Amino acid sequence: MSTTLKDIAKKANVSIATASLALNDSEKVNHATYEKIQKIAKELNYTPNARARALVKKATETIGLVIPEVENPFFAEMAQSIKNTIKESGYNLILCSTEYKSEEELRYINLFKSGLVDGAIFACLGDMMEEHNKMIIDLVKNNTPVVFVDREINNYNLIPVIKTDLFEGAYKIATHLINKGHKKIGFVGQSEERVTGYKKALRDNKIKVKNKYVFYDYLTIEGGYKVGQKILKLDDLPTALICLNDEMAMGVIQSLTSTDIKVPDDISVIGIDNIRMSEYYNPSLTTLNIPKKEMGKKAAEILLKRINNEKLTPNEQLVIFPTELIIRKSSKTIN
């Protein structure tokens, strides 16, 4: 049978109210009594009721993190960084995956409205952003602080944003490939910001954008594999492909190399994210590093400040992290 608050109070010879205050770190209890009650609780392996504790402290000491999918290594690495950061301040993390479904994000927004968390980080992408941002703004106005990661909002003072310049990142990759002699460059994935950066780099270098080289598909390894099959059916193959993320790039490479196509000898493939396995893939993947761990840490730090009603500086309201092109073996120079 588990130890109750009543058991603690009885052994300490204090009221249940005093025991509760001491176990919730109230300054209303003198130091000697506080130490005595804490010691007894430890001896009896007392586990406080989370709901009751939240009512007393008027805080859940829990943060919600909403991401598109748990399986994606990019979001897994970011989530771990967020968890490590908030743990130092005594907070717990609820991990919520939308699986790119609008109704799933809506469900989490409504859960957070019920007071389940003290604050939330939304790192979701997709069409639901505009539709749900107004509801998230209402969440913030009702005293649940929110931070966005790679998600836009007009009012950074209301909702701070942590991001990378993905337009500039895609532009950087395409320019690199052009400088390495490539002119038939394709893009794989759904991302307006990245596709726009890729297209601008081509146009700035007087290279015509060919729609047959742009593939809008799912953001997974499986999606990349399917795109690879479509590419193989083209009469005129591209010499290089930029993929929305590393997982798609790996799927594309697997698809291409299942035939006689060699990467990078026949087609160079570049990813975006620099997930851990990209360095150990065969061939090792040229990719754009997105500092996901640093972004997660910064998002958590800023959210904790908001929860504690600390004022943010302008530099904390919008934080843009730089990207870096990591050259490995999946890309090459052509004549």
Architecture in CATH for domain 5-57 = Orthogonal Bundle (1.10)
278: amino acid identity, one letter: S
pLDDT given for residue 177 in this prediction: 98
Beta-strand relationship, 286-289 and 268-273: parallel
Q: What are phi and psi of 285, to 5 degrees?
A: -90, 125
> Which CATH number describes the domain made up of 166-290?
3.40.50.2300
Structure tokens at 10: 């009885």
Cα radius of gyration (the chain)? 25
Are 242 and 214 in contact, with CB atoms under 8 Å apart? Answer: no
CATH 1.10.260.40 domain extents, the chain: 5-57
User: 128-185 pLDDT, tens per residue?
Assistant: 566 788 889 999 998 899 999 988 888 899 999 999 999 999 999 999 999 999 999 9
For the chain, how many helices (H) and strands (E)?
Answer: 13, 12
Q: Lowest mean pLDDT of 48-52, 181-185, 223-227, 259-263, name the range.
A: 48-52
d(CA 198, CA 188): 11
Instruction: Work out the average pLDDT over 238-258.
Output: 96
CATH 3.40.50.2300 domain extents, the chain: 62-165+291-322, 166-290
Architecture in CATH for domain 62-165+291-322 = 3-Layer(aba) Sandwich (3.40)
Q: What is the percent of the chain with per-residue pLDDT over 70, rounded to a whole number?
A: 93
Beta-strand relationship, 161-164 and 146-149: parallel
What pTM, to 2 d.p., does this model score? 0.81
User: 10-20 pLDDT, tens per residue?
Assistant: 888 988 888 87
User: 38-75 pLDDT, tens per residue?
Assistant: 888 888 887 766 555 555 555 678 999 999 888 889 99
